[in-house]
Amino acid sequence: MRLIILITLLTLSFSSFAAVYRWVDENGKVHYSDEPQSNASEMELNKNTQNTISINPPKLLNNNSNQTNSNINYSVAILSPSEEATIRSNTGTIKVSASISPRLPQGAFYTLLLNGQIKVQPQASSMFTLSNVDRGEHTIVVNVVTQNGKVLASSSPRTIFLHRASL
């Protein structure tokens, strides 16, 4: 039984060394095949035609990378609205934009606090839109937090005034 399997495997391996033929048809299109054609020429294949992929070994992350982020002093600033700005919006919409210096670290997000309460869930964008805010005086703060909720940086509180028409 082993002899039959060995002969079959050898026969299959010898048949895998088939020649490759190249020919050009009457339209000028180039064709390749393992079967000879009338105007085909046999091609010699170089051993370097095989594709190889090299995979770099993964870089190990050490626990010092989190300590590096905590040693950096991040600075968050609210770009708009300005301090003590009066916003007139009958729908109660307030648009807030902020910036961070240096760049937002990987795995960190922005949050917006209105009057000390988180009004916008953590997000990667520094642009916020608050809707249906009551009229009056409000304090806004933008925080940069890590995924586990640790505050990396916080903007200084900014006081704004919202004017809305009342019924």
pLDDT digits (tens, 9 = 90+) for 102-133: 888 888 899 999 998 888 888 888 899 998 88
Tokens 């961070």, located at residue: 100
Bridge-based pairing of strands 136-146 and 158-163 is: antiparallel
| pLDDT tens-digit series, residues 58-77 | 776 655 444 445 577 888 89
- In terms of pLDDT, which residue wins out, 167 or 101? 101
CA 163-132-123 angle, 5° bins:
115
| Per-domain residue ranges of the chain | 2-44, 71-163
Q: Is the pTM of this model over 0.75?
A: no
Per-residue tokens: 139: 């304090």
Per-residue tokens: 97: 């934009």
Percent of the chain having pLDDT more than 90? 22
CATH architecture type of domain 71-163:
Sandwich (2.60)
CA 157-160-166 angle, 5° bins:
145
Most confident of 51-55, 116-120, 137-141: 137-141
Average pLDDT over residues 15-24: 74
Per-residue tokens: 165: 């028409």
Q: What are phi and psi of 2, to 5 degrees?
A: -65, -35
Percent of the chain having pLDDT more than 70? 83
d(CA 144, CA 162): 25
